[in-house]
């Protein structure tokens, strides 16, 4: 399919049988028959055994597709891997509402990661810090000698910063090397550089370099996503006001902010996992960034535009890669990246942030109107029906009856099953 003709807007995708959904995605993303087969296969044990230690088997999670996403004018079908119900549906619905006003727009910084070198046992920290800065050029050259390929592609060590910190053990220095990691997540490149620089830093400072490791507070690798959510589609300006009242609590109260941000991470982690990226790194960066002004707060902001529509913005560090790591080894991660059709890590970062914003909008929208339990009930009722012994068409029938009665209990499901089987 020609890229410009592709539309990710599909109504009733959730009602299609799995086979039809797979056919749709296969056509959309030009998947081969081999790639199509991956949807129903597991990671092979040999690959798993090369990924981690002491392997016994594999652990499967559902892989779904969020539809309706338009980001910077381009349509995307977004693969999401998650165990929680309602997340994929919520992202798709939010993307549908955002589409009315043009979809998501994003911007992001260069893919700059920070590597830390902690220097202890220094007699004169100010002199030592100056000495590091005086040799910035040589230190950057030495760092770049570690990764000629990265440099060839326009990346590499770009800058050096020195911080002096007070600690219970006395003053210490933390030198930061700033590395453009291009399309990689960057941990390997940055850690290798930090280790290579340590002897020179010790010589320059007369101290001992203890830690040499990247920082997951990737605050120089920031992505911003923005969307306008149509007030009519939301149910009118009163609902927009209710939404903003709900959001405000997350902006002033860490107890609510943690839950609010968890909703954002529902969307973000799902895409991060589907593409074989490191969700712990993203989580660590997100929550540290949410505390950057001294109090943990919401990662997103919402306000009304002059027409009364709701504007949502999300700003978050995004250390994602499309080359190297598990994303290269895991066949399904490679497949998910093909479905996304991404060309750079920045494009992936922009999609991930948009999904995070969509997810957050959907959760707060539900919370400020009908609550979230309604959305959860349909799948929950189906699971209860299966537990009661139902299969095939009976699952839907029993689930519908349970929802109608407002009594989604196993005992009742068993009764209905015995009545109609």
Binding site for ligand MEV (CB under 6 A): 84, 259-260, 262-263, 266, 363-364, 367, 372
What residues does 156 pair with on adjacent strands? 180
Read off the tokens for 146. Answer: 């570690």
User: Is 238 one of the catalytic residues?
Assistant: no
Shortest spacing between CB 165 and ligand MEV, in angstroms: 35
CA atoms within 13 A on the CB side of 65: 29
Q: What is the three-class DSSP state of 243?
A: helix
Catalytic position from the list 44, 60, 84, 405: 84
200 versus 372: smaller Cβ distance to ligand MEV: 372
Nearest alpha carbon to residue 189 among 30, 279, 290, 323 = 323
42 versus 252: smaller Cβ distance to ligand MEV: 252
Contact between 189 and 179 (Cβ < 8 Å): yes
Q: Left if phi > 0, otherwise alpha if psi is -120 to 50, otherwise beta: which for 308?
A: left
Query: Can you give the C-alpha Rg of the chain in angstroms?
Result: 25
User: Is 110 one of the catalytic residues?
Assistant: no
136 versus 376: smaller Cβ distance to ligand MEV: 376
Look at the alpha carbons of 89, 91, 93, 95 in this order and tell me if their dihedral is positive or negative: negative
Task: Please give the residue whose beta carbon sits closest to ligand MEV in the complex.
Answer: 263
60 versus 84: smaller Cβ distance to ligand MEV: 84
Nearest alpha carbon to residue 241 among 228, 226, 231, 254 = 231
User: Is 262 one of the catalytic residues?
Assistant: yes
Shortest spacing between CB 275 and ligand MEV, in angstroms: 21
> Could you give the angle at which helices 254-274 and 237-252 cross, rounded to 10 degrees?
100
Q: What is the three-class DSSP state of 213?
A: strand
84 versus 161: smaller Cβ distance to ligand MEV: 84
What residues does 162 pair with on adjacent strands? 175
Q: What is the three-class DSSP state of 181?
A: coil
186 versus 375: smaller Cβ distance to ligand MEV: 375
Nearest alpha carbon to residue 54 among 45, 62, 63 = 45
Q: Left if phi > 0, otherwise alpha if psi is -120 to 50, otherwise beta: which for 175?
A: beta
175 versus 364: smaller Cβ distance to ligand MEV: 364
CB-CB neighbours of 77 under 10 Å: 23
Sheet holding 112-120, edge to edge: 156-165, 172-180, 112-120, 208-214
Q: What is the phi/psi pair of residue 382, to 5°?
A: -65, -40
Q: What HEC string does 45-84 produce? A: HHHHHHHCCCCCCCCCCCEEEEEEEEECCEEEEEEEECCC
Contact between 333 and 296 (Cβ < 8 Å): no
CB-CB neighbours of 78 under 10 Å: 29
User: Is 202 one of the catalytic residues?
Assistant: no
Shortest spacing between CB 260 and ligand MEV, in angstroms: 5
Interatomic CA distance for residues 221 and 217, integer angstroms? 9
Catalytic site positions: 84, 262, 278, 376
């Amino acid at each position: 399919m020609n890229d410009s003709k592709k539309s990710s807007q599909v109504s009733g995708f959730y009602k299609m049988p799995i086979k039809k959904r797979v056919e749709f995605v296969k056509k959309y993303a030009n998947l081969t028959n081999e790639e199509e087969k991956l949807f129903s296969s597991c990671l092979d044990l040999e690959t798993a055994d090369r990924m981690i230690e002491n392997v016994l088997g594999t652990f499967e999670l559902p892989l779904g597709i969020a539809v309706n996403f338009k980001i910077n004018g381009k349509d995307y079908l977004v693969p999401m891997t998650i165990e929680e119900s309602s997340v994929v549906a919520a992202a798709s619905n939010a993307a549908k509402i955002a589409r009315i006003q043009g979809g998501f727009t994003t911007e992001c910084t260069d893919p700059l990661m920070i590597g830390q070198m902690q220097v202890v046992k220094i007699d004169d920290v100010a002199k030592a810090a100056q000495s590091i800065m005086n040799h910035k050029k040589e230190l950057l050259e030495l760092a770049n000698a570690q990764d000629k390929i990265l440099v060839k592609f326009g990346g590499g060590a770009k800058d050096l910063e020195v911080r002096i910190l007070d600690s219970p053990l006395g003053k210490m220095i933390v030198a930061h090397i700033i590395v453009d990691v291009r399309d990689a997540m960057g941990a390997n490149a940055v850690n290798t550089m930090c280790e290579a620089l340590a002897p020179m830093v010790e010589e320059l400072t007369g101290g001992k370099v203890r830690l040499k490791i990247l920082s997951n507070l990737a605050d120089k690798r920031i992505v911003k996503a923005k969307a306008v959510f149509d007030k009519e589609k939301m149910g009118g300006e009163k609902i927009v006001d209710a939404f903003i009242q709900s959001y405000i609590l997350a902006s002033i109260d860490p107890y609510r902010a943690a839950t609010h941000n968890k909703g954002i991470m529902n969307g973000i982690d799902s895409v991060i996992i589907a593409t074989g990226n490191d969700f712990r790194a993203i989580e660590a960066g997100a929550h540290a960034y949410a505390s950057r002004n001294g109090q943990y707060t919401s990662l997103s902001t919402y306000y009304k535009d002059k027409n009364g529509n709701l504007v949502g913005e999300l700003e978050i560090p995004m250390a994602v890669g499309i080359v190297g790591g598990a994303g290269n080894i895991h066949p399904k991660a490679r497949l998910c990246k093909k479905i996304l059709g991404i060309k750079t890590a920045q494009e992936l970062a922009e999609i991930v942030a948009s999904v995070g914003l969509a997810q957050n909008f959907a959760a707060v929208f539900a919370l400020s109107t009908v609550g979230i339990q309604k959305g959860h009930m349909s799948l929950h009722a189906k699971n209860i029906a299966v537990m009661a012994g139902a299969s095939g068409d009976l699952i839907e029938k029993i689930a519908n009856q349970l929802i109608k009665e407002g009594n989604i209990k196993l005992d009742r499901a068993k009764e209905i099953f015995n009545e109609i089987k």
